[in-house]
Amino acid sequence: MKRLSFLVLILSVVYACSDSNKIQSGDIIFRSATSSSLSEAINNVTQTQKATNYSHIGVCDVVDGTVYIYHSDLGKGVVHEPLEAFMKATDTVKYVADFYRIKNITSNQVENALNRAKTFLGQPYNTTYILEDNGLYCSEYIYEVFKEDAIFELEPMTFKNPETKVFHKGWIKHYKELGIEIPEGKLGCNPNGMANSKHLEFVKSLTTN
């Protein structure tokens, strides 16, 4: 009997460990930088450590075993699409994504967050990265989704290369085309900064073929 109980305990631990690596609703997905000039500009001025080079972020919604991602995309605005679409590679771009889980989050909190995520569907992408402006950029969207839970914090934004202390050329070009000044110092958020939240724990990585 003792031997049987010990075996059941071991199997329970193994099952729990394997289950913890499964993608769950409410998990945050961070995608690696792409080859676009804007993604490069985001990463170059926000990277906080060598391990993080994220330029996009979304939240997972698992429906009948299928993983969907709520995210705000530069070309689409706020969408809800399968993980395969979020990770779709091209001839020139391959993606790596890391999944993180919010520590001690309850099922009710996840449900409320995803319901809130749904209310933003169809909103345009906020190309100015100024919170007060129309639309939502990717990390702004996730910040709003979990705002009630105080998972992420806003910080003064910088568009300067941390080594040279001058504005990244990609941002200079971007804001010149918009016809507005670079919003240096305004409050905002970015994927790399959010990945360093003390409320997150790493779950797994996924790479496109």
User: Of the given ranges (50-54, 96-100, 116-120, 148-152), which has the lowest mean pLDDT?
Assistant: 50-54
Residue 80's nearest CA partner among 124, 28, 22, 122 is 122
CB distance 207 to 94 below 8 Å: yes
Q: What pLDDT digit, counting tens, does each position of 71-95 carry?
A: 999 999 999 999 999 998 877 788 8
Mean pLDDT, rounded, for 43-68: 77
pLDDT at 9: 32
> Model confidence at 6, in pLDDT bands (50, 70, 90)?
very low
**What tokens appear for 126 in the block?**
């906020």
Average pLDDT, the chain: 85
Rounded-to-integer distance, Cα 114 and Cα 146, Å: 9
For residue 97, what pLDDT is reported?
94
| The overall pTM is greater than 0.85 | no
Tell me the backbone φ, ψ of residue 66, rounded to 5 degrees.
-100, 130
pLDDT given for residue 2 in this prediction? 43
In this predicted model, what pLDDT tens digit does every residue of 154-166 receive, in sequence order? 999 999 988 899 9
Evaluate if residue 27 carries a pLDDT over 60. yes
Asked whether the predicted pLDDT for residue 7 surpasses 50, the reply is no
Residues 112-155: tens digit of each pLDDT: 999 999 999 999 999 999 999 999 999 999 999 999 999 999 99
**Residue 20 has what pLDDT?**
67
What's residue 19's pLDDT?
57
pLDDT score for 50:
41
Please provide the size of the chain in residues: 209
